Structure 1
Amino acid sequence: MVVTEGERVTLGELAEITPGPSGSLLDKLGDEPDGVPVVTPSDITDQHHVDTRKLRRLPYNEVARLDRFTLRQGDIVLVRQGSLGRLALIEPQLEGWLYNSSCARVRSLGHLVLPEYLCLYLSSSAVQEEMLRRALPGTVQSLNAKILGNLPVVLPPLDRQRELVEIIADIDELALVHRETADRLDILKLALLDDFLDEE
């Protein structure tokens, strides 16, 4: 099937979906400072980034057999077990990293969809609800590659995708500035209170 801009398609028509390696292939995962980082659900932030502060790593000599699970810029890591739907867009500095079995890699095929747009689309409340609705039941809900591949995707023209990505990026930057300002004001408030109490 040939996919064109401006139609509704499935995620599987736009991207390669690869669930993470089985846990047995990551049994040497540890907290040592050396090795290849492995992204887990707890490393994924609400802002769709990877928090690099508490990463676990796999020894370099264990990585060769996991070559098909490496990450590159523009990939999306999506949580498919547990906290379903959390996702992060992979930035250049994370290339060559791995992801664990609770995640899936979504890698865009061709040039019809911007990874940034796809990340925003998959994080929308409507799509997140659809993932939960389609999830396999059990003690821990899960999504497999087939379920993810059948998710519908609205595919606007590339210029419209780019426009949305830029608008959301501007909003995120403004929100970050406001959060940083609020944090500084909280620190100032506490300092003023401490000074006042010291004078009493």
Structure 2
Amino acid sequence: MAPEQAWPTSGDGRIPLGRFCRVTAGPSGSLLDNLQEGPNGVPVIAPPDLTEHFTVDTRRLRRVSHPQAERLARFELRAGDVLLVRQGTLGRLALVKDEQAGWLYSSSCLRIRVDQSLVLPAYLAAYLTHPPVQRELIAQAQSGTVPSLNSTMLTEFPVEVPPMDRQHDVVAALADIDEQITVQRMMLDRLVALRPSVFEQLTKGE
């Protein structure tokens, strides 16, 4: 049954996110008071580890011991989870990949676990990073010294959910664009690296 047939919608036809997702805030800071650097232990993803390209930067991850991670098993990540910053750089997110399954996440993040029979995680990630949607989401943040989102707020956030075949089309089209962006960035990086040597060769007449 299509989502729009199964669930009541808002006046504009959008569906509350909580109808097809479970939203879980990260463990409290007191449960992660033994974070450590180095290669040993289970990684804990924090807001600075989420990139503007919706991925996880693994270079500066901190970790907890395996016994501590076992006690925090309810906060484990699975492939397809969407991790959203709730404090700090609001709205930044990442789509969890297979290699990050079993990792944990900090108290400053929300884990969105999608019912993948109804919504594609990649579609939801794309929807939540669409600029007008980002502005709407951030506008609902609780004001204060550090603006924040919470699980209740996110559960009630309205989402446009097209049929599954349309979601696949959206994800495929955006993947093609992202691939072209990656190629263009690589070309730009090479040109930037080449520029100083060209300058030296031309000024020295080589």
Scaled by the length of structure 2, the TM-score of the pair is 0.92
Please say if 1:114 is aligned against 2:124: no
Aligned mates of 2:81, 2:74 — CA distance in 1 = 13
Aligned residue type for 1:61:
P
Aligned twin of 2:83: 77
1:163-178 paired onto structure 2 within 5 Å: 163-178=169-184
Cα pair 1:82 1:141 within 8 Å, conserved = yes
Aligned twin of 2:64: 58
Cα pair 1:77 1:88 within 8 Å, conserved = yes
Unaligned residue ranges in structure 1 (runs of 5+): none
Cα pair 1:5 1:112 within 8 Å, conserved = no
Aligned twin of 1:4: 3
Which piece of structure 1 moves more, 124-133 or 21-30? 124-133
Aligned mates of 2:72, 2:148 — CA distance in 1 = 22
Aligned mates of 2:193, 2:143 — CA distance in 1 = 45
1:37-186 paired onto structure 2 within 5 Å: 37-186=43-192
Q: Percent identity?
A: 48
Unaligned residue ranges in structure 2 (runs of 5+): 6-12
Cα pair 1:3 1:9 within 8 Å, conserved = no
Partner secondary structure for residue 175 of structure 2: helix
Scaled by the length of structure 1, the TM-score of the pair is 0.94
Which of the residues 184, 201, 204 maps onto 1:195? Answer: 201
**Count of equivalent residues:** 199
Considering only aligned residues, what root-mean-square deviation do their CA atoms show, in Å? Answer: 1.6
Give 1:190 shift: 1.2
